[in-house]
Amino acid sequence: MEENLDQEFEWYEGNDDDTDESQDISFTEYDISAAPNDFNIKTLFDFIDSGIVKIPGFQRNYVWDIKRASKLIESIIIGIPIPQIFLYEEGKNKFIVIDGQQRYMTIYYFVKKRFPKKEKRLELRTIFDENKGIPDEILFNNEYFTDFNLKLSTAQPNQVNKFANLNYATLDDDDQTTFDLRTIRNIIIKQNTPDDGHSVVFEVFNRLNSGGVNLKPQEIRTSLFHSDFYDMLYRINLLPEWRDVTPSTTPNLHMRDVEILLRGFAMLIGSDSYKPSMTKFLNQFSFKAKSFPTENIEYLESLFKAFLNKIPEDDKRLFFSKTGRFNLSVYESIFVACCKEAFGQKNLVVREIDSSKVQELKENPEFIDATQSDTASEKNVKLRLTKASEILH
């Protein structure tokens, strides 16, 4: 199901600089440090519980099922080595889990003796963002969580795994102590210079694997640059009026829809200074957004809602291409064209959206060319925005 959902979003950067090896960062130009630290399980739990280590799990959703989680816990108890975890040092006693969050969160849930229900994880993400954690009344609410009793099997018939159906509290004292004192290596990475939005750190984590699957750029970005602005993106991503004009009523687990919203705002605010690569542009914008004043964020949220109100009721596929897929280039071009004047004057007078003019834009040869190749080049990005402004005026 998730793979199908990903395919519903049409991205026009397939061959652009996001994957172009010529855009790789030269690490010799940066000062970074990577320090290994072996922390025991009890310390890791205390880090999470105290907020020293942030778990961006409800921004990049927790995806393990209880069987996989149980195998990790069993491996820790019996002494099987666990893959190392990568942390980013955001500040003094402030760390973000970038690679290894599923392991971190599994440990957290096991000690808490509760396991999140799959169908509630998107809702839990919102609860986590609003409360900066999971309140006890949610943690112990059986609508959201079940008891974390280990689900384990054995390779031999008629045998029972000694840890099956146990939880943290019902482990015998020796096994619980063994679990608490087992260590997992944590690699702590810090970018010392330059102070440019953690660009090299992003590149390092972009090359890491999590569970054998490369992290998506927005998943990394969400963790590195979490802010009040990003909280706003999560809120508007859940708006029914927005979900109605996207491919799915359910938010994408890999944050693709959040990236669509991010690109719209980034182009609205910073398109005049856009330079490739698109990944670097969005990283830098996300870094700057961490310092946006509250009133600016509230204005952007209101502006987006005003934009949604201008979408014709009878055209819920306004941002879709003729292939039937959501078209990111069409969306950001329309969003910027309709909101640019209002943004410049800091009001909410968003331009009316005429479906016939949008269709004219989609059929414009220059616009089409700028969405089909070299899509993240400065020339094509600015050409799309210019054409949209001309035609939709």
Q: Are the beta carbons of 260 and 325 closer than 8 angstroms?
A: no
Residue 61, C-beta contacts closer than 8 angstroms, at least 6 positions apart: 121, 122, 125, 253
Is 47:150 a contact under the CB 8 Å cutoff?
no
**DSSP state letters, 126-165:** HHHHHHTS--HHHHT-TTTEEE-------SSTT---TTTT
State the pTM of this model. Answer: 0.66
227 Cβ contact list (under 8 Å, min separation 6): 286, 289, 290, 292
Task: Name every residue whose Cβ is closer than 8 Å to that of residue 122 and which is 6 or more positions away in sequence.
Answer: 61, 250, 251
Going residue by residue through the chain, which has 393 residues, state the pLDDT in tens, using 9 for 90 and above. 333 334 445 433 333 344 333 343 334 455 778 899 999 999 999 998 888 887 654 445 678 999 999 999 999 999 999 999 988 888 888 888 878 888 998 999 999 999 999 888 878 877 876 776 788 999 999 999 999 999 998 766 667 789 999 999 999 999 999 999 999 999 998 877 766 656 666 766 666 644 445 667 887 788 778 889 999 999 999 999 999 999 888 888 778 999 999 999 999 999 999 999 898 899 999 999 999 999 999 999 999 999 999 999 999 999 998 888 899 999 999 999 999 999 999 999 999 999 999 999 999 999 999 998 889 999 999 999 999 999 998
Select from 244, 235, 253, 224 the least CA-distant residue to 94: 224
Q: Cβ(35)–Cβ(87) under 8 Å?
A: no
- Give residue for tokens 């004009």: 245
The DSSP symbol for 212 reads T
Q: How far is CA 139 from CA 117, 119, 120, 123, in A?
A: 11, 15, 12, 13
Return the half-sphere exposure (C-beta side, CA atoms, 13 A cut-off) of residue 177.
3
| Buried residues in 254-277 as b, exposed as e (16+ CB within 10 A) | bbbbbbbbbbbbbbbbebeebebb
